[in-house]
Structure 1
């Protein structure tokens, strides 16, 4: 067993108010808790990992090159491997979500400039 204490977990803050926390995972899958302030959007990007984005609080709009969907509390969306996308907080309050990646990944995706 490999527990992860949220307060001690690896954290990455790509932009002011956009925080990601690395939760328990492995090479096969990883979990990243995140929060986004109103109006914040990640850049359009893609990665080899399949991704499930789950909205825990607030409102998140996930856009691909062909479509977009707005997630509310407990809604989720699957993004295929190499599917270009961005995630935006389109609500008026802080949005909180959980990303699941398969295979697992680290924050190197953002810090090494692979986006």
Structure 2
């Protein structure tokens, strides 16, 4: 067993107010808790990992090149490998979500970007 205490977990803030916390996972899957301030959007991007994005609080709009869906509390969406997408907080309050990636990944995805 490998527990991860939330307060001691690896944390990364790609931009001010956009915080990600690495929860328990492995090379096969990874869980990342995140928060986004109102109006914040990740850049359009893709990755080899399949991704499930679950909205825990607030409102998140997930857009691909072909579609867009707005998630409210406990709604989720599956993004396929290499599907170009972005996640935006389109609400008026802080949004909190959970991303699940398979295979797992580290914060290197963001820190090693050009």
Q: TM-score range by the shorter chain?
A: over 0.9
Shift of 1:89: 0.1
RMSD: 0.6
User: TM-score w.r.t. structure 2 length?
Assistant: 0.99
* SS across alignment from 1:7: helix
- Are residue 111 (structure 1) and residue 111 (structure 2) matched? yes
CA distance in 2, matches of 1:24, 1:82: 24
TM-score for the superposition, normalised by structure 1 = 0.98
Equivalent residue for 1:29? 29
- Runs of 5+ consecutive residues of structure 2 not aligned to the other structure: none
Count of paired positions: 114
Question: SS in structure 1 opposite 2:41?
Answer: coil
Aligned residue for 1:109, secondary structure, equals: helix
Give, in whole Å, the separation in 2 of the partners of 1:41 and 1:113: 17
Write the distance in 2 (CA, Å) between the matches of 1:63 and 1:10.
27
Alignment partner of 2:51: what SS?
strand
Cα displacement (A) at 1:5? 0.2
1:56-67 aligned within 5 A: 56-67=56-67
SS at match of 2:34: strand
SS of the residue corresponding to residue 7 of structure 2 reads: helix
